[in-house]
Structure 1
Amino acid sequence: MKYIVNLSRIIVGVLFIISGAIKLNDPMGLSFKLEEYFAPDVLNLPFLAPYVLGIALFLVVFEVMLGIMLLLGYKSKFTIWCLLLMIVFFTFLTFYSAYFNKVTDCGCFGDAIKLTPWESFSKDVVLLLLILVLFFGRNHIKPFISAKVGFIGTVIALAACVLFADHVLNHLPVIDFRPYKIGANIGEGMIIPEDAPKPIYEYSWKFKVDGEEKIIKTNGDYPSVDGEFIDVETEEIQKGYEPPVHDFSIEKGGEDHTEAMLAEDKLVMVISYNMRKASEEGLEKMKAVTDKALADGYKVIGMSASGEDLTLPVLRKYDLNFEFYFTDETTLKTIVRSNPGILKLHRGTIVQKLHFNDADELETN
């Protein structure tokens, strides 16, 4: 039993540290995922929406700390009880999400490893079993070296987590796992290969045959039935290939400017997914930066999901000399974890990406 408990201890501890560290690299991304969970059509907890970033930060730091404390054997009873309560909650959450198809990606490993809802649930079930082994064998969990070493290691790890979280929130994630990372070409990311798998749909055809309703299922063909057609329902039973970059477009006045903008040699984008939530300090910094870019021959555009009723007042207030184009909000949140943020592109390839705190580092010479 002792060896099984210690093996489970290592597996659970390492997994919690890796999972938490990946999300700690991008806590803003987790906060966006929590917004999905708190939405009215999922958990219906809209009153928590204003606090998603704080909740995200607490969860990721706590997850990393539990993994470290487990490996160090520090406060083992407290650690195991917290692990058990946390995994029970997340197992329920991933099952609910998978069964009712509410959130298609749990965000367990951020953007580094994408899991389907059922894969996330299966992962949590395995973790639950391992943590139950730890719970019932907790007397076999001893401190690594000593309790004092465990305390010192825990304090150092907590300080490191807080400092790292502060850095990525005030700049950008240290490692970018998204399809809009520096060096990626947006246009190429939207290409669907000719041999890519196509989605498979199941059609449930409802007919009235001899006075009774009858349902016939096919994968698309209209069934040969001697009866009166009533209705048909369609369900996607197997997803097709989805390109890394999707739902990306640049629109204005009902016209699509995506192709033209991605063909620009020198393009700077100022991105604000929601103008109401944009940092005033960040918007103030855009004036000097974008004026310099324009003077150096760059085309400068704004990209937002907000309408002109919000973007035009911002342009006037900060005397910005460019126009805003419309892009999907979720896409803009994915592109850059800063509101506003800055992208520099060359023919669709992302050359530079900046948080507004680093706006003066934009290279336009």
Structure 2
Amino acid sequence: MKKALFNFSKWFVGILFIFSGLIKANDPIGFGYKLQEYFAVFHMSFLDGWATGIAILLCVLEIVFGALLLLGIFRNFVVKGLLATIIFFTFLTFVSAAFKVVTSCGCFGDAIPLTPWQSFSKDLVLLLLIVYLYLKKDWIKPVTEKPGVQSALFAAVFTASLMFGTFTYNYLPIIDFLPYKVGSNIPENMKIPEGAPVDEYLIMYDLKNKKTGETKTMSDKEYMGKEVWKDDNWEVTGSPSRKLIKKGYDVKIKDLLITDASGTDYTKEIVENPYYSLVVVAYNLNETSENAIANINALALNAAEQFNIRTVLLTSSSARDAEKFSKRMKLFMEVFYADGVPLKSMVRANPGVLLLKNGTIVNKWHYHSLPSFDQFTEKYFSK
């Protein structure tokens, strides 16, 4: 029975750490955004520039610890590393849950969103299992006793996980779990389907008794049902609040608004264009690759001249900065504005390019992997 519990703990912890590390390494930029939320909570925003690098390193550590545990090598180092890691993550998820400062921990990226309390509960279970493994570390047996082979296995796991995170950073996630993935239709993802359940709320009143000073909070249903309103001793203080009691249909895209510099809404015109159009996303023009923008600009010019393809650039930079940037780069593209959150979700690159047709994302690219104009012509425009 003890042996079965030990083996279960080892395999469960090892596989979960590998899975968690791979899921986050699939989208290290997204994990970096999540780390920036934690940096803001702990007043460590000076680390924002290092967020993606730290994200890749944490993913590598998770994968390495999980793999080495299953391989049984370097057991003292591994169990101590696992214990330190899970204590760190348990602390973070507790802070998120108790103080409601980060709504999702990002433990499994965007693939499996967890609430803060779900994340904390998961980490508590892992903490118990890892403490058990630490106490029983002498039971961990290596797949090989040869030091050279052990070192080679460690190097192979470390190198492979680091290369994976680096690749997805430079060439987009292998699997896209965001609502702007290839094949999705943006207008459809912005709608609530007919007949879909909507969020249900209770109106909450804060009450105070004029005679006793007693305070309490109750819902509008309870307030009316008990006819508290008839009792002159109780008065409503402050403004009523809303409490969500039943979650309805969650619209996949709810924060996309595309405007020009004067604030005119162009969202529908751009995303519902029935013809091919190129959407260039450069959420921060101060940090975007200017060489990439220049290449995309040339592509946009050729596409317009030969196939009448419209190209727009979306940014969350200020109109003033965008105007200066456009003049300096001699942009042929039209410039529009949107909030940085949806732009970062559209494509994990600065800049990145989406090919749209009738609202559907036909394909999208990191600027490192952007096809040439001839390739665009052969595969898309000439058909």
Q: TM-score, normalised by structure 2?
A: 0.89
Is the CA contact (8 Å cut-off) linking 1:180 and 1:186 kept in structure 2?
yes
Measured after TM superposition, the shift of residue 361 of structure 1 is 4.3
Alpha-carbon RMSD: 1.9
Residue equivalent to 1:155: 155
Indicate the SS of the match to 1:251. coil
| CA–CA separation in structure 2 for the residues paired with 1:221 and 1:313 | 58
Aligned amino acid, residue 188 of structure 1: E
Residue equivalent to 2:364: 353
Instruction: Name the CA shift for 1:216/1:164 in 2 (closer, same or farther; >3 Å).
Output: closer
Q: Which deviates further from its counterpart, 75-84 or 157-166?
A: 157-166
Q: Number of residue pairs matched?
A: 363
Per-residue CA distance 1:292-312 (angstroms, 9 max, x = gap): 222221111111111111111
Measured after TM superposition, the shift of residue 222 of structure 1 is 6.4
Residue equivalent to 2:252: 244
Aligned amino acid, residue 73 of structure 1: G
Structure 2: stretches of 5+ with no match in the other structure: none
Instruction: Name the CA shift for 1:191/1:73 in 2 (closer, same or farther; >3 Å).
Output: same
Residues 146-295 of structure 1 aligned to structure 2 (within 5 Å):
146-148=145-147, 149-193=149-193, 194-210=195-211, 212=213, 214-219=215-220, 223=224, 224-225=228-229, 226-227=231-232, 228-238=235-245, 239-252=247-260, 253-264=262-273, 265-295=275-305
Residues 1-365 of structure 1 aligned to structure 2 (within 5 Å):
1-39=2-40, 42-148=41-147, 149-193=149-193, 194-210=195-211, 212=213, 214-219=215-220, 223=224, 224-225=228-229, 226-227=231-232, 228-238=235-245, 239-252=247-260, 253-264=262-273, 265-295=275-305, 296-361=307-372, 363-364=376-377, 365=381
Is the CA contact (8 Å cut-off) linking 1:207 and 1:231 kept in structure 2?
no
Is the CA contact (8 Å cut-off) linking 2:207 and 2:236 kept in structure 1?
yes
Per-residue CA distance 1:243-290 (angstroms, 9 max, x = gap): 111201211222211112222122211101111221223222222121
Structure number with greater Rg is 2
Indicate the SS of the match to 1:203. strand
Measured after TM superposition, the shift of residue 235 of structure 1 is 4.5
Identity, in percent, stands at 38
Q: Which deviates further from its counterpart, 69-78 or 213-222?
A: 213-222
Aligned amino acid, residue 267 of structure 1: S
Q: Which deviates further from its counterpart, 330-339 or 254-263?
A: 254-263
| CA–CA separation in structure 2 for the residues paired with 1:219 and 1:132 | 47
Measured after TM superposition, the shift of residue 359 of structure 1 is 2.4
| CA–CA separation in structure 2 for the residues paired with 1:25 and 1:109 | 10
Indicate the SS of the match to 1:360. coil
Structure 1: stretches of 5+ with no match in the other structure: none
Measured after TM superposition, the shift of residue 211 of structure 1 is 6.5
Instruction: Name the CA shift for 1:361/1:108 in 2 (closer, same or farther; >3 Å).
Output: farther
Indicate the SS of the match to 1:255. coil
Measured after TM superposition, the shift of residue 206 of structure 1 is 2.6
| CA–CA separation in structure 2 for the residues paired with 1:215 and 1:106 | 32
Aligned amino acid, residue 124 of structure 1: D
Aligned amino acid, residue 218 of structure 2: K
Aligned amino acid, residue 286 of structure 1: I
Aligned amino acid, residue 167 of structure 2: H
